[in-house]
Amino acid sequence: MTEHKDTADIACRVALVTGASGGIGTAIARALAGRGTLVAAVDKDADGLTDLVEKMAADGLTAVAFPADVTDSGRINEVVDRIETELGAVDLLVNAAGVMRAGSALEMSDRDWRAIFSINLDGVFHCSRAVASRMKERGEGAIVTVASNAGRIPRVHMAAYGASKAAASLYTKSLGLELAEYGIRCNVVSPGSTDTDMLRSLWSAESDRQTTLDGSMDTYKTGIPLRRIAEPGDIADAVVFLASDRARHITMQDLCVDGGAILGV
């Protein structure tokens, strides 16, 4: 994805992006900053945020680091207050923080289950509540939650991850229904297999990349009809579109960006 200073299609001045030091979160932060948006980068990885902000600055892009754990609602409220005081009103929230722990639906531990839901669902709730309450008072804003195509279709060893993403998606849509009268749009972007550390952590052999493209009858998983694994920038482009004035009449929608992997379900 090429970064550029085209501000005609972007509706936000300040964007809060969670999970900003990760693959998709970083791509989103850079894509928004490349269109003139001031990015408040939020992640629990403080060192990663510092590295991100420095690299973006070297490329002429502006972001400010706000280390925080999305599972801590009190901390998130404090950070949102700081962002609005120091940078200005948040026009866009992107819930991109996420974690994946693969495992059997029957054998997954309580600890892993709770870790997945605390970030993928509770984190979306904490951040959305903190930001949307302020957006509601102003009567404008947009929220985009990064979910997953795994939230739409069963996957072997991804029951907890898929369930958490399905819940985050429905929460975001429900929030959009409640906030529509205030001019606030809430949408979802659901990536499929994307070239990130999270995806690569699931691979244990050189053939796994090809298997991702081809699919696997043993796990009832289709391949990718477009025959490519997404780049983080592909997901960022979808987020930028939903945040823009070009999507001003779109709310409560889930845009699946997976190369056709779930066959349009």
**Confidence (pLDDT) at 2:** 41
Which fold does the domain 14-257 belong to in CATH? Rossmann fold (3.40.50)
Question: pTM for this one?
Answer: 0.94
Write 104-112 long-range contacts (CB < 8 A, 24+). Answer: 104/157, 104/159, 105/157, 105/159, 105/160, 108/159, 108/160, 112/160
Non-local CB neighbours of 216 within 8 Å, separated by 6+ positions: none
Helix runs in the chain, H state only: 23-33, 46-58, 73-86, 110-117, 123-138, 159-179, 197-200, 208-214, 232-243
Is residue 261 within 8 A of residue 149, CB to CB? The reply is: yes
Domain range list for the chain: 14-257
Beta bridge partners of 64: 40
Active site residue 161: yes
Report CA 234 to chain centroid distance, whole Å: 12
Structure tokens at 173: 């849509």
161, 171, 182, 220: which is the annotated catalytic residue? 161
Non-local CB neighbours of 221 within 8 Å, separated by 6+ positions: 155, 156, 215
**Confidence (pLDDT) at 185:** 98
**Residue ranges for the chain with pLDDT beneath 50:** 1-2, 4-8
Question: In terms of Cα–Cα distance, which of 150, 152, 149, 146 is closest to 187?
Answer: 146
What distance in Å separates the CA atoms of residue 89 and residue 134, rounded to the nearest whole number?
A: 8
What distance in Å separates the CA atoms of residue 50 and residue 48, rounded to the nearest whole number?
A: 5
Which residue, chain included where needed, has tokens 């400010």?
A: 64
- Alpha carbon dihedral 20, 21, 26, 28, in 10-degree steps, equals -10
| Amino acid at position 183, single letter | G
